[in-house]
């Protein structure tokens, strides 16, 4: 488990800014309106009794709403980051009620501790300022309009400052509490660790920078922060000096081998791999081999890669190899697409060439690898060489003028052989490569050819196909693909120039190998967009 702290904290603070905005304007509005009531009664009646202002129940509601709104945002943020790794995903909607209750309760509890002080501070501000002004003869001789103008401008500053202080202090607590809570809806607390991520903010106090530099602790333990114990940044049980104005975050993550609370299996949280969640938790998942064929068949179903899998006749090694390859491919596309309808393995197994060198399903992987290599170098060359040999053998049977044209043809075939020596029949060589090639067909047929993703290929096609009214979608797509001249696929492999579909599948394979230079530049853009999920 490796955490990209920079990415995590950047996203955390970005989310925090977004979450705070509506709260800030709401709380500022409340302060302003209460201060205005105070100002108005002070000017009209000269009284400085503000006991009815800044009602504690109004503050309580502010706390409750703030914790609930910000909490839900961060619980979703965290859960969605894990979504792709969890069986059937995490549907945050299932937890909304549970979260809402939990966050609102915390808001009420925190609010109950704070309202007397917060409301008192606001009232005290009114009293202090107005008392001072009552003793200021220059102010007292002003007309009420002028008095109101001066007071409102002064109290607007207090509204701004006090609402900001309130929201920022609570937002960090709400966000981190929700992150912690969200994590426990996915993983049991005992199977998690957590890390303190220090804010990049220049004002980050040294105690927080130190906490951020220390090792992760078990989820249920506290962080040692400047001599105090805090469960997470903003923990209200910590001293104000460690809590106020803190923008740090907590990152809970599963220990290696952790199981989710729900239904997650076949995953291990290890150090391998290079997958990235939306918020910087990287290297979360590494593939774990199934122990039985049944388990292997269930793997793709559990991970929404295939609806139905039949590995009857495969060895467990073969099944695992197919699973791992498909899973890697699946993860390499940012999950913006619905894989639920994929009955993929069936397709793979029906492809003749994948298994054509084997007897039925009794496959020896090493043998397949060898045969694919041989196929690559031999098939067409061999065919041509045999043809040349045959023609030469029978040459004397032909009349002289025909012999001339046969020899001419032989020269052409020899040239073709030279060309073929520089062009592989298939781009790939291993079984993994061939599965990835098949996945390339999936990318083409289920993703690129999906109407909703049609815009993805617009750059990939000639402009004259862009306004193709009257042409059916399928035809248009096919026209587009054909038009870009897959013949240049020969740069990738001979097979890639067979037709537009093979061109795309072979290009996908080259893409997964980072062999970018041989891929059409617009197609490369599409693949990269798919990978980045936009």
Per CB under 5 A, does 114 bind Zn ion? no
Q: Which stretch of DSSP H or E encloses residue 55?
A: none
Per-residue contact flags (x/-) with Zn ion for residues 309 to 338, judged by CB under 5 A = ------------------------------
Continuous H helices in 394-499: 400-422, 431-442, 473-483
Distance of alpha carbon 508 from the chain centroid: 21
Orientation of helix 365-393 relative to helix 431-442, angle to 10°: 90
Q: Which stretch binds Zn ion (CB under 5 A): 1-9, 93-101, 241-249, 472-480?
A: 241-249
Say how far apart CA 471 and CA 207 lie, in whole Å: 66
When the beta carbons of 207 and 499 are compared against Zn ion, the nearer one is 207
Binding test (CB under 5 A) with Zn ion, winner from 84, 208, 424, 441 = 208
When the beta carbons of 208 and 302 are compared against Zn ion, the nearer one is 208
Per-residue contact flags (x/-) with Zn ion for residues 362 to 401, judged by CB under 5 A = ----------------------------------------
Q: Which of residues 440-499 bind Zn ion (CB under 5 A)?
A: none
Q: Which stretch binds Zn ion (CB under 5 A): 40-48, 245-253, 393-401, 405-413?
A: 245-253
User: Smallest distance, Å, CB 233 to Zn ion?
Assistant: 5
Q: Which of residues 43-72 bind Zn ion (CB under 5 A)?
A: none
Per CB under 5 A, does 300 bind Zn ion? no
User: Smallest distance, Å, CB 196 to Zn ion?
Assistant: 8
When the beta carbons of 228 and 282 are compared against Zn ion, the nearer one is 228
When the beta carbons of 64 and 247 are compared against Zn ion, the nearer one is 247
What is the 8-class DSSP label of residue 359? Answer: B
When the beta carbons of 64 and 208 are compared against Zn ion, the nearer one is 208
Residues whose CB is less than 8 angstroms from the CB of residue 357 and which lie 6 or more positions away in sequence, other chains included: 367, 368, 371, 372, 375
Q: Which stretch binds Zn ion (CB under 5 A): 28-36, 246-254, 333-341, 490-498?
A: 246-254
Nearest to 8 by CA among 171, 182, 195: 195
Exposed/middle/buried for residue 142 (C-beta within 10 Å: 0-12, 13-18, 19+): middle
Q: Which stretch of DSSP H or E encloses residue 15?
A: helix 5-45
User: Smallest distance, Å, CB 9 to Zn ion?
Assistant: 11
User: Smallest distance, Å, CB 199 to Zn ion?
Assistant: 5
User: Smallest distance, Å, CB 82 to Zn ion?
Assistant: 24
Q: Which stretch binds Zn ion (CB under 5 A): 125-133, 158-166, 238-246, 451-459?
A: 238-246
When the beta carbons of 246 and 290 are compared against Zn ion, the nearer one is 246
| Residue 71, token pair as written in the block | 């909490």
State how far the alpha carbon of 470 is from the alpha carbons of 465, 476, 482, 507, in Å.
11, 10, 18, 30
Report helix, strand and coil shares of the chain as percent, to nearest 5. Answer: 65, 5, 30
Please state the three-class secondary structure of 138-202 as a single string.
HHHCCCHHHHHHHHHHHHHHHHHHHHHHHHHHHHHHHHHHHHHHHHHHHCCHHHEEEEEECCCCC
The DSSP line for 83-151 is GGGSTT---GGGGHHHHHHHHHHHHHHHHHHHHHHHHHHHHHHHHHHHHHHHT-HHHHTS-HHHHHHHH
User: Smallest distance, Å, CB 118 to Zn ion?
Assistant: 21
When the beta carbons of 64 and 205 are compared against Zn ion, the nearer one is 205
Per-residue contact flags (x/-) with Zn ion for residues 250 to 289, judged by CB under 5 A = ----------------------------------------
When the beta carbons of 60 and 246 are compared against Zn ion, the nearer one is 246
When the beta carbons of 203 and 393 are compared against Zn ion, the nearer one is 203
User: What is the dihedral angle through the alpha carbons of 375, 377, 378, 380, rounded to the nearest 10 degrees?
Assistant: 90
When the beta carbons of 134 and 229 are compared against Zn ion, the nearer one is 229
- The answer to whether the CB of 299 falls within 8 A of the CB of 345 is no
Binding test (CB under 5 A) with Zn ion, winner from 186, 248, 326, 331 = 248
Site residue total, Zn ion (CB under 5 A): 3
What is the 8-class DSSP label of residue 252? Answer: E
Bridge partners (DSSP) of residue 192 are 254
User: Smallest distance, Å, CB 198 to Zn ion?
Assistant: 6
User: Smallest distance, Å, CB 178 to Zn ion?
Assistant: 17
Say how far apart CA 456 and CA 524 lie, in whole Å: 11
When the beta carbons of 52 and 241 are compared against Zn ion, the nearer one is 241
Per CB under 5 A, does 246 bind Zn ion? yes
| Residue 241, token pair as written in the block | 């000096």
Say how far apart CA 109 and CA 105 lie, in whole Å: 6
Residues found near Zn ion in the complex (CB under 5 A): 208, 246, 248
């Amino acid at each position: 488990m490796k955490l990209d702290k920079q990415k995590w904290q950047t996203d955390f603070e970005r989310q925090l800014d977004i979450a705070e905005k509506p709260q800030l304007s709401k709380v500022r509005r409340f302060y302003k309106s209460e201060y205005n009531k105070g100002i108005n009664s002070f000017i009209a009646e000269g009284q400085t009794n503000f006991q009815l202002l800044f009602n504690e129940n109004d503050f309580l509601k502010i706390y409750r709403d703030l914790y609930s709104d910000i909490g839900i945002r961060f619980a979703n943020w965290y859960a969605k980051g894990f979504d792709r790794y969890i069986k059937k995903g995490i549907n945050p909607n299932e937890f909304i009620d549970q979260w809402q209750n939990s966050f609102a309760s915390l808001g009420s509890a925190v609010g109950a501790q704070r309202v007397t002080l917060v409301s008192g501070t606001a009232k005290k501000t009114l009293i202090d300022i107005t008392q001072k002004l009552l003793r200021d003869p220059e102010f007292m001789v002003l007309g009420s309009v002028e008095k109101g103008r001066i007071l409102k401008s002064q109290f607007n500053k207090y509204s701004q400052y006090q609402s900001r202080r309130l929201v920022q202090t609570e937002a960090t607590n709400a966000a981190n509490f929700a992150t912690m809570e969200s994590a426990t809806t996915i993983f049991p607390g005992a199977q998690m660790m957590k890390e303190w991520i220090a804010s990049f903010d220049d004002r980050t106090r040294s105690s927080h920078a130190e906490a951020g530099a220390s090792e992760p602790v078990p989820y249920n333990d506290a962080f040692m922060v400047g001599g105090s114990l805090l469960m997470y940044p903003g923990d209200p049980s910590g001293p104000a000096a460690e809590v106020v104005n803190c923008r740090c975050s907590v990152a809970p993550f599963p220990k290696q081998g952790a199981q989710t609370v729900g239904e997650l299996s076949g995953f291990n949280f290890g150090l391998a791999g290079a997958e990235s969640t939306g918020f910087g938790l990287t290297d979360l998942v590494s593939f774990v081999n199934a122990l039985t064929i049944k388990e292997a068949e269930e793997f793709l179903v559990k991970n929404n890669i295939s609806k139905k899998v039949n590995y009857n006749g495969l060895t467990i090694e073969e099944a695992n190899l197919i699973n791992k390859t498909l899973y890697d491919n699946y993860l390499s596309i940012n999950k913006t697409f619905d894989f639920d309808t994929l009955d993929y393995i069936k397709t793979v197994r029906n492809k003749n060439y994948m298994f054509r060198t084997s007897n039925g399903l009794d496959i020896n992987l090493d043998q397949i690898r060898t045969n694919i290599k041989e196929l690559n170098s031999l098939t067409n060359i061999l065919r041509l060489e045999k043809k040349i040999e045959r023609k030469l053998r029978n040459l004397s049977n032909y009349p002289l003028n025909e012999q001339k044209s046969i020899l001419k043809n032989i020269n052409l075939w020899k040239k073709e052989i030279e060309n073929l020596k520089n062009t592989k029949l298939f781009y790939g060589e291993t079984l993994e490569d061939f599965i990835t090639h098949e996945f390339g067909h999936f990318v083409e047929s289920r993703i690129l050819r999906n109407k909703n993703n049609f815009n993805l290929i617009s750059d990939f096609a000639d402009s004259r196909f862009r306004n193709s009214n009257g042409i059916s979608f399928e035809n248009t797509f096919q026209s587009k693909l054909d038009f870009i001249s897959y013949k240049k696929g020969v740069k990738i492999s001979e097979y890639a120039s067979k037709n537009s579909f093979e061109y795309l599948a072979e290009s996908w394979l080259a893409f997964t190998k980072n062999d970018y230079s041989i891929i059409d530049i617009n197609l490369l853009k599409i693949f990269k967009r798919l990978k980045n999920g936009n």
